[in-house]
Structures are given as structure tokens and as C-alpha cells.
């Protein structure tokens, strides 16, 4: 699968989702989209784009 965290961060604006579970509450199929998808995606975006340790490791891996 393709890594799309850049699109999630910039184009789709996942950072603007405030995780109030409104989408889960109104879902007619009782899908827990917040817990099963949105929160893990937000964590992945933060890990890749804002975590200082990950940034350091990326720089180190490029030089190796």
C-alpha cells in the first residue's frame, strides 16, 4: 500500500478532526470510525511529520 500521510496532513486536513466521535454517533451502521481509523491515522501522521526522534532517524538513514 502507498504511504499517504502527507496527503492526510496537508490535502485532507486530518489535523482538523477534533475526535469528538460525532461521526460515530450518527453512523447508521454503528461503525466506530473514530476509534478504528481516524485516531490511528492521526497518530501515524504525527509520528511521521512531527516526532523529533523520527525526524532524526530519517536524516540518519539518508546519510547511511
pLDDT for 11-34, tens place per residue?
988 888 877 888 888 888 888 888
Confirm whether pTM is higher than 0.75: no
Helix (H) or strand (E) holding 19: none
Q: Dihedral through CA 35, CA 39, CA 40, CA 46, nearest 10?
A: -170
**Residue that has been written with the C-alpha cell 492526510 in this structure:** 8
Alpha-carbon span 57 to 50, nearest angstrom: 12
3-state secondary structure of 12: coil
pLDDT for 36-61, tens place per residue?
888 999 999 988 888 888 888 888 88
**Residue that has been written with the C-alpha cell 538513514 in this structure:** 61
Amino acid at each position: 500500500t502507498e504511504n499517504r500521510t502527507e496527503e492526510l496532513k496537508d490535502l485532507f486536513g486530518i489535523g482538523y478532526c477534533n475526535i469528538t466521535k460525532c461521526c460515530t454517533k450518527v453512523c447508521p451502521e454503528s461503525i466506530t470510525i473514530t476509534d478504528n481509523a481516524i485516531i490511528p491515522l492521526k497518530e501515524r501522521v504525527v509520528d511521521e511529520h512531527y516526532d523529533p526522534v523520527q525526524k532524526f532517524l530519517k536524516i540518519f538513514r539518508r546519510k547511511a
